[in-house]
Structure 1
Amino acid sequence: MTAFLLLSISALFFSLPLYYPDLYFLSWFALFPFLIVQFKAIDQPLNRIFIQGTVWGFLLACFSVNFLYYPLQIYTNFKLLVLLLILMLLFILLTIVYGLFFLFYYFLTFRILKLKEQFNPYLFAVSWVIFEFIRYHLFFFFPFLNPAYTQASCKFMVQLAGLGGIWSLTLAVILINALFFKFYLKQQKRDLLAILLVFLLIFSYGSFNLEKYKPAEFAINQTSLKDFRPKKLIKVGLITSRIRQSDKWRADQINNNFNLITMAAEKLNSADLIITPETALTIDLNKDNYFQQKFLTLVKENFAFPLQVGSLASQNNLTGNQYFNSIFLIDSAGQFLDRYNKVKLVYGGEYFPLERILNKVFSEFNFNSLAEGDEIKIFNYNNLQWKTVICSEILYPDFVKKQAAQVQFIVNETNEAWFANSRLLKNIMWQASVLRAVENRKIVIKTGNLAYSGIIYPDGSYQKVSDINNYHLLKFWVKK
C-alpha cells in the first residue's frame, strides 16, 4: 500500500502542472517518490520492477489524459462502466512501455554494466530521453505524457526547447529529479553542487535567450524599438467560438456560422488577415454548391482582406466519398487562393485503423476515416508567408518544424469541443503551442472553438484573448 501511495503521488505531481501550469516546479521533484520505490533497494525482483513501472505509467495516463473519455463518450454513447473499462485497457496497453523501460534500465545498470553506485543520475536521465524518443515514434498516434510540456510556464526552463526541442527539456527535468534522488541517497555535497550547477546553467541560458528573443522585438504595445531591423506591422484578426460539439453539426448551425464569420468583416475591419477555428464551416466548401456560392458571395460583399477558414471538404481530383480536414485561404473577391489538408490525423477520431473490420463488428457506429493530406502548404499573401497546422498537429514538434524556417509566423486552428471544454486538454494544447514557438523561434497564433486562443512569442511569453468575445485583433511585427 505504501508503494502504491508513493507511485500515485509521483504520477500526480507530474500531472498537476498540466492542470495548473504555474506548478511547473512540482515536476522537478515528481519522480522522487517513485525512485524511492523503484531503486532504493538494488535486489528487487525483476517482475516487481516491471509492475511498478507499468503501474506508475498507468497512473500518469489516468491523471494526464483522462480527457480522452469525452470524445469516446460522444462517439459511442456507451455506458460509463464500459467507457472506463475501455480507457483502462487503452492506458495499460500504452503504458506497459514504462514497465519495460524501467526493467531494461535496472537490468542494464545492475546486471550488464554492474555499476558500483546504487543510482547514476546521468545515465538515468540520458536513458529516459532515449526512451521518450522511442516512445514518441513507436506510439506516434499518442503524443502525450512527455514531461517537457510541464515546463511551458517556466520562462527559463522553456528556453531549452530552442536548443533541442522537447528532448533537451526532458533531459533537464529528469536530470534534476535524478540528482535530487542521488543527493537523498548519498547526502554528498558534490551532488548538491551538481544540482546548483544545473540550475545555474539553465538560468544563464534562459536569461540569454529571454533577452535575445524579448517580446519587444515583436509586440506592438512595447516601446523598446531601438533594436529594430526593418519590420512590417501585421494585424491578424481571430474569430473564436464556444459551440458545443452536440450543437456544432446541426443543420440550423450553418447560417449561424456564416453570420459569425461575416460579422468579423466589421468587427475586425483593420485586419490584414482573419482566421477562424478548425471546421468553422460545417459544410463541404468544395462540393456543396449552394452553400459554397452563398458563403463566397458573403465574403466578396463584406471582406476587404483575405479569410482563412476551416471546413471538412471533398477534393475534385479524387474519386469516391473522401473528405479532408481542410483550411481554405480566400481573398476579398471570394476566390480560393490556396488550401491545406490536414496531414497528421487523430487515430480513433479522424482515422480508424481496420475500418472495415470495425464496421462489421460495430455496424451501428459507421466508422468513417477522413482522407490524409499529402503535403505541407505555406500560405503566401501580400509578401506574407505563414504555415498552418490543424488542431492536434501542434503536438508533433518535428512536423511543425518542417519548412517553419521559411515563414514569418505559424497558425494553429483547433476545435476542442470534442473534449467537453476540458481544462486539461486546453492547457496541453496551449502548452504545446508555447513549446512550438520556442523551438522554432517563431510567433504562433492560435484560435479555436472551446479553446484557449491568442499569440505566443518566440521567447515563450504569450497573450491569451478572452473567450467572452468572438473577435480579437492581434498586432505584431515580422521581418520584411
Structure 2
Amino acid sequence: MGMTTAPVNAWFLGWVALAPLWVLVIQQEKYFDKFLLGLVWGIGYHGVALFWITGIHPMTWLGVPWLASLAIAIFCWIFITLWGAILVAIWAYLFGVLTPTSSSEKIFSFARVLLGITLWCCLEKIWSLGSLWWTSLSLTQSNYNLVILHLSQLSGPITVTAAIITVNALFGEAFIQAKSQGNSEVFQSIKFWKKQNNSDKLNLFFKPSLFIINYSLLIIHYSFFLPIATLLFFHIVGFSLYNIPLNPDSETALKVGIIQGNIPNEIKFNSTGWYRAVEGYTTGYKKLADQNVDAVLTPETALPFLWTNQNNRRFLSFYQAILDKEVVAWVGGYGKQDNNLTNSLFTIDNTGEIFSRYDKIKLVPLGEFIPFNEVLGKLIDRLSPLDAHLVPGKTDQIFETPFGKAIVGICYDSAFSQVFQRQTAAGGEFILTAANNAHYSPTMPAQHHAQDVMRAIENDRWTVRATNTGYSAIVDPHGRTIWLSGINTYETYSTTIYRRNTQTLYVKWGDLLTPVLVMAGILIKIIIWSKI
C-alpha cells in the first residue's frame, strides 16, 4: 500500500493491497496475533508513504549538529509511522473482537464486511481530529484516479476510504469462500501454521509455484465477480460526477497570479534570505501586475515579517509595489495574537491596507508547536526557527476578499478536509493554499499537491496553490491540474479561475457516511448476537 502514494503512485494497488490483511486477520484466532498483523501492515504503509519526513535532515541551518539532526529525523519518521500503524493495529484487534472466529459460521460475509468498513472509517475519523494526520487511505488515489476521488463529493474523503476498504474486503471474502470450497489447491496453500513444538510464533506459509500455476483459477472463480463488479460500480458513480460540466461564467472570472519564490530554508530566516525574498517577490509582483491580474498569491511566510505592524511593512519594496501597482496581494507572513505569533495569510488591498487575515489552524507538531510541551519540551529540541510561540488560528475564520469569500489553507491545513468544508459551507467561492515545502524531499510536495487536489474536488472549487519551492499549481474543480510548477525553481504564473457557489453533498452535510455506518454496524452486531 505504501507504493500507492508519491513517488511511485501505483494507485491501482490500493484496491487489492488490504485484502491479504483482511484474510490473515480472519484466519488468526489470537487477538494479539491480529493486532500484530495490523501493526506490521500499518508500518509498511505509513513507513513507506511518510519516509519523506527524513528529508528534514540535515538541520544544520537551524544550528542542530549533523548527528543530532539525523537522530531527530529518524525519531520523527518512526513516531509518525507508528502513530499511523497503531490505527491499523487497533482496527485488526477490534475487527477480531467483533467478528469472533468461534462463531464465524454464523456471521454473514456481508456483516463482516460492514463491520470492517465501519471500524476503519471510525478510526480514520478519530485520527483526523488530532494533530497528526496525513495518510488517509483516500490519499492513495490522488492525484491520478480523479474519477474515484469524486466520491468524496458525497461525504468527504471518508467515502473514498470506505470504497477502497469495501473492494478489498470483498476480495478477501471471495478468497475465503474459494478456499473453503476447496476448488483450487492455491486457496488451501496460503495459511498460517504453527511449528510442531507448539511454538506460538506466527508463520505465513504458501507455495509460490502453486500460486503461479493456479493464478488463472484465482481470477475466474465466481466469488471474485462481486468485488470486481463493486469496483466498476464505484468508478461509474465517480465518472458520472466527474462528467458534470463546469460551465464557467465570464462574470465570475478572476485572473490570479502566483509567485514561487524558491528561497531555501538555509537562508530563509537570515538577512540574505530576507533580501532575496523581498527582491524576488517584488519583481514577481510587478511582472504579474503588468499582466493585468486581479490578485497575486505568495507562499506561506513568503515575507517572514510581522505584517500587523505597519512600520514593518511600509518600508518594504514589495509593499511600495502594491501602492504603485494597486493590485491585491495575498501575502504569507506573521500575525500577532496577544503576545504570540500566528502563521498567517493577509489580503493587502490596492490601498495597502490589511483587508482580511487567515491564521493557520493546523500547526505542525514538533515543527511549529510541541505537544505536551511541559514534558516533551524539555526532551525535544524545537525544529522551528521562530523565537516566539506560534498559536493556531480559530476554526471559525471567514476570509473575505475584494472578490468575495475565499477558502484558505496554509500548508498542513491541506490534510484536514473539515478545514475547507466549513469555509466552503460559509460561502467560500475559491480555494487559496500557501505552503513552504522546502523542508523535505520532492516526495512531500507531490503528496501535498495530491491533498489539495482532493480538497478541490470535495468542495467543487478552483484551487490556487503557491509554494516556496514547489509544487505550485492551478487545479480545477474536477481535480485536473491545469498548471504545475517545477521543483526548486523561481517561477511566476498567471491564469483565470472562476468563483463558484455550488454546494456538494459533503459541503452541505459534512461527513454523514461515518455515523450512518456506525448505526448500521450497531444494528448488524445486534442481529449477530441474537443468532449466536
Q: TM-score range by the shorter chain?
A: 0.7 to 0.9
2:354 corresponds, among 317, 331, 336, to: 336
Structure 1 residues 234 and 362: CA distance shift in structure 2, 3 A: closer
AA at the equivalent of 1:131: L
Cα distance in 1 for partners of 2:4, 2:84 equals 21
Contact 1:299 1:332 in 2 (8 A): no
Q: Does 1:415 align with 2:436?
A: yes
Output aligned runs, 1:203-218, within 5 Å.
203-214=235-246, 217-218=247-248
Q: Does 1:261 align with 2:277?
A: no
Cα distance in 1 for partners of 2:121, 2:21 equals 17
1:327 corresponds, among 345, 351, 354, to: 345
Contact 1:296 1:335 in 2 (8 A): no
Q: Does 1:371 align with 2:374?
A: no
Cα distance in 2 for partners of 1:25, 1:204 equals 16
Give 2:228's aligned residue: 196
Cα distance in 2 for partners of 1:250, 1:388 equals 28
Normalised to the residue count of structure 2, the TM-score between the two structures is: 0.76
AA at the equivalent of 2:272: D
Q: Which runs of 4+ in 1 moved over 6 A?
A: 363-367
Q: Does 1:28 align with 2:15?
A: yes
Give 1:11's aligned residue: none
Cα distance in 2 for partners of 1:243, 1:457 equals 27
Output aligned runs, 1:312-461, within 5 Å.
312-315=334-337, 318=338, 320=339, 322-361=340-379, 369-374=389-394, 376-405=396-425, 406-419=427-440, 422-461=441-480
Report the secondary structure of 1:345's partner residue: coil
Structure 1 residues 143 and 475: CA distance shift in structure 2, 3 A: same
Structure 1 range deviating more: 54-63 or 124-133: 124-133
Give 2:491's aligned residue: 470
Cα distance in 2 for partners of 1:364, 1:150 equals 31
Q: Pairwise CA RMSD of aligned residues?
A: 2.8
- What is the Cα deviation at residue 438 of structure 1? 1.2
Contact 1:254 1:283 in 2 (8 A): no
| Unmatched tracts of structure 2, length 5 or more | 182-220, 502-532
Cα distance in 2 for partners of 1:349, 1:363 equals 10
Report the secondary structure of 2:499's partner residue: strand
Output aligned runs, 1:16-415, within 5 Å.
16-20=3-7, 22-39=9-26, 41-42=27-28, 44-71=29-56, 74=59, 76-77=64-65, 78=68, 80-81=70-71, 83-85=73-75, 87-89=77-79, 91-110=81-100, 114-116=104-106, 120-137=112-129, 140-152=130-142, 153-187=144-178, 191-214=223-246, 217-218=247-248, 231-268=251-288, 269=290, 270-287=292-309, 289-295=311-317, 297-315=319-337, 318=338, 320=339, 322-361=340-379, 369-374=389-394, 376-405=396-425, 406-415=427-436
Contact 2:152 2:457 in 1 (8 A): yes
Contact 2:263 2:276 in 1 (8 A): no
Structure 1 residues 256 and 425: CA distance shift in structure 2, 3 A: same
> Once the two structures are superposed, what CA deviation does each residue of 1:276-299 show, in whole Å capped at 9, x if it has no partner?
000000222233725543346523
Structure 1 range deviating more: 299-308 or 79-88: 79-88
Cα distance in 1 for partners of 2:262, 2:437 equals 10
Contact 2:462 2:498 in 1 (8 A): no
- What is the Cα deviation at residue 69 of structure 1? 2.5
AA at the equivalent of 1:160: L
Structure 1 residues 259 and 66: CA distance shift in structure 2, 3 A: same
- What is the Cα deviation at residue 477 of structure 1? 2.8
Report the secondary structure of 2:409's partner residue: strand
Identity percentage of aligned residues: 22
> Once the two structures are superposed, what CA deviation does each residue of 1:400-419 show, in whole Å capped at 9, x if it has no partner?
11131312201000011122
- What is the Cα deviation at residue 396 of structure 1? 0.6
- What is the Cα deviation at residue 232 of structure 1? 2.5
Report the secondary structure of 2:271's partner residue: coil
Report the secondary structure of 1:418's partner residue: coil
| Unmatched tracts of structure 1, length 5 or more | 1-13, 219-227
Contact 1:161 1:438 in 2 (8 A): yes
AA at the equivalent of 1:238: I
> Once the two structures are superposed, what CA deviation does each residue of 1:127-166 show, in whole Å capped at 9, x if it has no partner?
32223223323xx111122110111211221110111111
- What is the Cα deviation at residue 323 of structure 1? 1.0
> Once the two structures are superposed, what CA deviation does each residue of 1:324-368 show, in whole Å capped at 9, x if it has no partner?
101111122222212222122122111123435445456898985
Structure 1 range deviating more: 385-394 or 84-93: 84-93
Cα distance in 2 for partners of 1:364, 1:447 equals 26
- What is the Cα deviation at residue 63 of structure 1? 0.5
- What is the Cα deviation at residue 117 of structure 1? 5.5
Contact 1:213 1:458 in 2 (8 A): no
AA at the equivalent of 2:119: S
Cα distance in 2 for partners of 1:271, 1:21 equals 36
Q: Which is greater in Rg? A: 2
AA at the equivalent of 1:123: L
Give 2:212's aligned residue: none
Give 1:4's aligned residue: none
